Structure 1
Amino acid sequence: MVPLNAVPLSPFPLDQWYVAGLSWELKDKPLARTLLNREVVLFRTGSGEVAALEDRCCHKSLPLSCGTVERAGVRCGYHGLLYAPGGACIEVPGQDRIPSKARVKAYTLVEKDSILWIWMPREEGAVPTHEAPDYWVHGDSRYQFKGDVYHYDAPYQLIHDNLLDLSHLGYVHLRTIGGNAAVHMNAELKVEGSGDKVRVLRYMPNSAPPPTYLAAWPFKGNIDRWQEVEFNVSHLLIWTGGADVSTEDLSDPQRGGFHMRGFHAITPETETTAHYMWTMASNHHPDRPDVLEAVYEQTALTFHEDKEVIEAQYENMKRFPGAPQIDIHVDVGPNRARRIVERLVKQQVQEGA
């Protein structure tokens, strides 16, 4: 039986924490964002509390994102109704009485490690069943990080595919993190996982360091290079790096060398568009203490290259609707991730949520 307060059937996995944004996006104005087909306004009150509400005033339906942020909440820009972070209207200018139905839908929004996590429930008003994820990298003094938010005119799972298959680096990212294409395509590959997670491990021993690595770290020659990708339904963690040949054990989680730790949150906007919230953290060599901006700029360039490829890919998929695609060896990780999403959505449909 479908609960009376169930949300409409969703093509996306629900009862999940998704990334709504990055902490520094919330300044002195409300932020409008469509997340999983839901119109949401994000804001930080004058007292520092973060909140997420349905982006609609219950009076005349003006988007609350057209309003202003105050110490107690967000004020509608049409007739001045003031909403608290919990969604209740707490002031109607010109009258003392506040109608009992004067409220809008509120979402649970949590700020952790400079990331804004929003709980997308299967039943309206349901509380989270578990805590929002931690991301220790942002608080680790060994790393400096910086990031950005991109909008994609493409379905979110095409971005998953791209991040879980790093063999494309040798073709798409020759100027930055690429390297020899043949080395990438023939890298030692291991795919593992359990539950709703997938891990893709790729190792390229005794390979030439790519331009981004050379700009950030004084390698002596060839390097032993690693790429480790962890897929979660709402985000991926990618740890890449390299060390001088035979100086580090690549199975040691505390290994040295040059490290790049990427946080990649892929949040669907609609079935055909997506938000990509990302940060890149890197360590630095004592002889090169100021590499953050260079690593960030190189990473941003890389992601722009990916964006061009993925959006062109989707445009061509629309030109050839239903055309079959073949699988090759590098598709194991992406295919596993797609099966996880398919299973979760199918389960929701069967349970009527």
Structure 2
Amino acid sequence: MFPLNRWYVAGFAWELADKPLARTLLNQNIVLFRTGSGEVAALENRCCHKSLPLSCGTVENSGVRCGYHGLLFAPSGACLEVPGQERIPVKARVRSYTLVEKDQILWIWMPQEEGAAPTCEAPDYPIHSDPRYTFRGDVFHYDAPYQLIHDNLLDLSHLGYVHLKTIGGNAAVHMNAELKVEAAGDQVRVLRYMPDSVPPPTYLGAWPFEGRIDRWQEVEFKVSHLNIWTGGADVGTEDMNDPQRGGFHMRGFHAITPETDTTAHYLWTMAANHHPERANVIDLVYEQTALTFYEDKVVIEAQYENMKKHPNAPQIDIHVDVGPNRARRVIERLIRDNAAPAAALSAAAA
């Protein structure tokens, strides 16, 4: 159901304090924790003794201890201690996953074959440490399949209808914005420009624009996450082709990690710059961003509920669907690629 042999976002660094965290990822029941020595780890969320979730236990310096009979498990999944007996059974271990902490993001490698090592490094996200920006983030749960969230983020024309009080603006301007879609390998890039437009409420609250603005929306789809760079500058003051252009910037990190076939985790951060004449506006930007994402959540979950009521009803495409459709084709191809080796092995065994 999902592309495998790749990194997905399991959480954020600040979520791991002194307690284990239960999270289902790609239909896998997983516990995340940080040991007392600072190491991050991910294990199957099930004690191999009596199946109590390890998330019901406690974190210690060397691992996580089951809350039922006290078996202690290392980040490798090996049992380190069985209280009351010296001998540790050979089979006393649980499945482990590779978990990497990078730029305050927790990346988990989801292999096709259990125990397979990563074949590449976890992605970088330098925005979180860029001194030009400050950021905040959160985790939302969606009762909807993950690709519906991809569709939403790759088609920002909906802003003029769904987000009128925050990052929206004139609906006609959004629907008629200059649109460019690029695809290369496993990535899709959607570029939208809205010159000489009225700045939306969130922008006005964060930046002292002189009047109308040239506005941009650049979306990069990367299967496990999307990077969305939006912003605006006073009309005619910046080159929209210059990656170092000035003005007000919002840098969004959007990790859409499937929970199950029909539910998803939305792990996001929003970074923003601030004008020297204004105090840091990250709290305003965060609150406005969270509001827009709640608005999207309502729409997407209602959309999915209605899709279940009309399971065979066709859907037509319009011009704004080019980006989402290309992303869906990427996912379909990757799932087929994962399935091919398994099918070959089955045929050979037969």
- Name the TM-score, length of structure 1 as normaliser: 0.97
SS for the counterpart of 1:336 is helix
Is 1:239 equivalent to 2:229 in the alignment?
A: yes
d(CA) in 2 for partners of 1:291, 1:339: 38
| Alignment-derived partner of residue 294 in structure 1 | 284
d(CA) in 2 for partners of 1:44, 1:227: 37
Among 241, 257, 271, the residue aligned to 1:267: 257
d(CA) in 2 for partners of 1:351, 1:121: 13
Is 1:278 equivalent to 2:271 in the alignment?
A: no
| Alignment-derived partner of residue 214 in structure 1 | 204
Is 1:17 equivalent to 2:33 in the alignment?
A: no
d(CA) in 1 for partners of 2:308, 2:112: 30
What letter corresponds to residue 67 of structure 2 in structure 1? G
| Alignment-derived partner of residue 186 in structure 1 | 176
d(CA) in 1 for partners of 2:327, 2:341: 22
Structure 1 residues 152-208: Cα deviation after superposition (integer angstroms, max 9, x where no partner) = 000000000000000000000000000000000000000002000000000000000
Tell me: higher relative CO, structure 1 or 2? Use CA pairs within 8 A at least 6 residues apart.
1
How far the C-alpha of 1:289 sits from its partner, in A, is 2.2
d(CA) in 1 for partners of 2:132, 2:294: 27
Structure 1 residues 210-244: Cα deviation after superposition (integer angstroms, max 9, x where no partner) = 00000000000000000000000100000000000
d(CA) in 2 for partners of 1:345, 1:264: 21
Is 1:136 equivalent to 2:91 in the alignment?
A: no
How far the C-alpha of 1:321 sits from its partner, in A, is 0.7
| Alignment-derived partner of residue 53 in structure 1 | 43
Sequence identity (%): 80
SS for the counterpart of 1:352 is helix
SS for the counterpart of 2:332 is helix
How far the C-alpha of 1:273 sits from its partner, in A, is 0.1
d(CA) in 2 for partners of 1:238, 1:288: 24
| Alignment-derived partner of residue 81 in structure 2 | 91
d(CA) in 1 for partners of 2:157, 2:342: 39
d(CA) in 2 for partners of 1:198, 1:139: 25
d(CA) in 2 for partners of 1:314, 1:239: 27
d(CA) in 2 for partners of 1:120, 1:100: 25
d(CA) in 2 for partners of 1:352, 1:302: 41
| Structure 2 residue ranges without an equivalent (≥5) | 344-350
| Alignment-derived partner of residue 173 in structure 1 | 163
Among 293, 301, 312, the residue aligned to 1:303: 293
How far the C-alpha of 1:346 sits from its partner, in A, is 1.3
SS for the counterpart of 2:260 is coil
d(CA) in 1 for partners of 2:60, 2:256: 30
Among 15, 20, 23, the residue aligned to 1:30: 20
What letter corresponds to residue 296 of structure 1 in structure 2? Y
d(CA) in 2 for partners of 1:280, 1:73: 32
How far the C-alpha of 1:106 sits from its partner, in A, is 0.3
| Structure 1 residue ranges without an equivalent (≥5) | 1-10
How far the C-alpha of 1:288 sits from its partner, in A, is 1.1
d(CA) in 1 for partners of 2:215, 2:79: 55
d(CA) in 2 for partners of 1:322, 1:48: 50
Matches within 5 A, 1:70-109: 70-109=60-99
d(CA) in 1 for partners of 2:190, 2:278: 30
d(CA) in 1 for partners of 2:279, 2:15: 27
SS for the counterpart of 1:275 is strand
Among 119, 124, 148, the residue aligned to 2:109: 119
Name the count of aligned residue pairs.
Answer: 343
SS for the counterpart of 2:114 is coil
Q: Considering only aligned residues, what root-mean-square deviation do their CA atoms show, in Å?
A: 0.6
d(CA) in 2 for partners of 1:244, 1:286: 16
How far the C-alpha of 1:322 sits from its partner, in A, is 1.4
